[in-house]
Amino acid sequence: MSLVETLKIIVLGIVEGFTEWLPISSTGHMILVDEIIRLDQPEAFKEMFLVVIQLGAILAVAVMYFHRLNPFSPSKNRRQREATWALWIKIIIACIPAAVLGLLLDDWMEAHLYNAYVVAAMLILYGILFIVLENSPITSSPSIQKVGQISVKTGFLIGVFQLLSLIPGTSRSGSTILGAMILGCSRSAAAEFSFFLGIPVMFGASFLKIVKFFLDGNSFTGSQIFYTLLGMAVAFGVSVYSIQFLMSYVRRHNFKFFGYYRIILGAIVLAYFGITALAV
């Protein structure tokens, strides 16, 4: 195991944990950071690692919202347990569009869209959309204040918006939060439902990547197992803070800041990789 590689893994874990839950594209940031720090690992492992590290982030949601998402909790009455099951039904239904198209398009997306220029374009586009949305009257009086008020139909439509996140740089949380707000959800309800949607989506995506990794004839070395577990652990710890930060932030602010951040970052990325390409 290399000390330099270990430090790179820690950096990637921090980036994943902080950006996974903010509407600024964790996958986009991971691709861009790896372009700069360059993990000294086989390409097959890197492609798998950049997805599987998300398991650490999703475990933070599972732990922080365990009671709320647990339909078997002995401290819940019958009505509360039924409400929890109803929430899970909405989550599963909302995940169907991305699960189906994600399986069909995964290889094509990876081959054609996983590059810095697509990431930069999506960062800028959705940054503009967030600013436009926050300047529109749609967000002034949301009809859905709590996650429990989201209907099955609305949940499914939010899942359709989640399809947009198949394009790197879009942001899974960004597309679902944007869609939920357009459909009448408050900022906090949109953010929480986005967290919950991530549980089956990210577990499924990670499982798919691991299966493909082994089916392609690859295997883990001892150091790669360590790097994967370390990255997940760092992503878990940072995600706890990131989730708390976002929920506190949206109670007092809108999403314009993230819109401007995306535009600025997208412009920097275009400039950086444009200059790099010219210098080659």
Q: CA-to-CA distance for 220 and 209, rounded, in angstroms?
A: 13
Distance of CA 195 to the CA centre of its chain: 9
Q: CA-to-CA distance for 10 and 55, rounded, in angstroms?
A: 15
pTM: 0.87
Would the pLDDT of 1 be above 80?
Answer: no
Show the beta-strand stretches assigned E in 104-254: none
pLDDT digits (tens, 9 = 90+) for 156-208: 999 999 988 888 888 889 999 999 999 999 999 999 999 999 899 888 888 88
What is the structure's pLDDT at 208? 84
Residue (of 20, 21, 15, 17) closest to 35 by Cα position: 15
Task: Report the SS3 class of residue 185.
Answer: strand
Domains of the chain, residue spans = 3-279
Do 179 and 157 form a contact (C-beta atoms < 8 A)? yes
pLDDT band for position 17 (cuts 50, 70, 90): very high
What is the structure's pLDDT at 280? 63
Would the pLDDT of 218 be above 70?
Answer: yes
